[in-house]
Amino acid sequence: MQVNFWELVKTTEPVALTIRGLLVAFSLISWTIIFSKAGTFRRAKNANLRFLRAFRKSARLDAVAAATEQFRSAPLATVFDFGYSEVARQIQSRSRISNMTAVERTLQLGMSEEITRLEQNMNWLATTATVTPFIGLLGTVIGIVNAFQMLGLSGNTSMRAVGPGIAEALVATALGLMAAIPAAVAYNYFGHRVKEMGARMEDFSLEFLNLTERTFEG
């Protein structure tokens, strides 16, 4: 006897409907975040490459600052803006760079802001990966209890009588895993991408400091 999964998903039990609806909602939101994050990281990577080429071709910070509007989706451009704003303040007030430590701290603030932006909504993926298997298990337990209660009321003790009810109950576990597995994989993948982007920003901050020293202290 073949079992149609989508037929098992259909149910009129209020508790089962609520649990399955909740799992589907978790899954849909997670996939929306996954596609959005994939696009964000792809645009950030491409924009970073373009911005870095422009930065390395330039001999002065002010020339780079004039072109940063072209690279708004590049995390490196945001880090540059933070660093350049501090450099400009020091040059305006003292006509020289008097505190490189302040420039370094400002670059760190820029990196922190970009990492926070890149990590946005990733907590939802972690929550989905952690919680949905247990929600699915709860639905399965409730379904199995209901199946055995119906078995007791009917007086029929054959497996043929209880099997469909148990199979329907196990659908909740399947839905929970279908929501959790992609979310867990995406969370780990994007977490690695955030670390990579953070390392790129750390390297860029060193290049920024080097160019600043060459421009204003050379």
Give Cβ neighbours of residue 102 (< 8 Å, ≥ 6 apart): 86, 90
Confidence of residue 72 (pLDDT cuts 50, 70, 90): confident
Distance (Å, rounded) from C-alpha 39 to C-alpha 1? Answer: 44
Label residue 3 by pLDDT band (50, 70, 90): very low
Strands (E), 54-212: none
Cα 69 to Cα 32, 60, 121, 160, 173, distances in angstroms: 28, 17, 26, 68, 49
Average pLDDT, the chain: 86
Asked whether the CA dihedral 183, 185, 189, 194 is positive or negative, the reply is positive
Q: Which residues does 125 contact at the CB level (< 8 Å), separation at least 6?
A: 30, 33, 34, 183, 184, 186, 187, 190
State how far the Cα of 144 lies from the Cα of 170, in Å rounded to an integer: 8
Amino acid 152: pLDDT: 63
Identify the DSSP state of 161. Answer: H
Exposure b/e, 122-150, CB count within 10 A at least 16 = b: bebbeebbebbbebbeebbebbbebbeee
Tens of pLDDT, residues 13-49: 777 788 888 999 999 999 999 999 999 999 999 999 9
> Which uninterrupted H or E stretch holds 132?
helix 122-154
| 106-154 residue pLDDT tens | 999 999 999 999 999 999 999 999 999 999 999 888 888 877 776 666 5
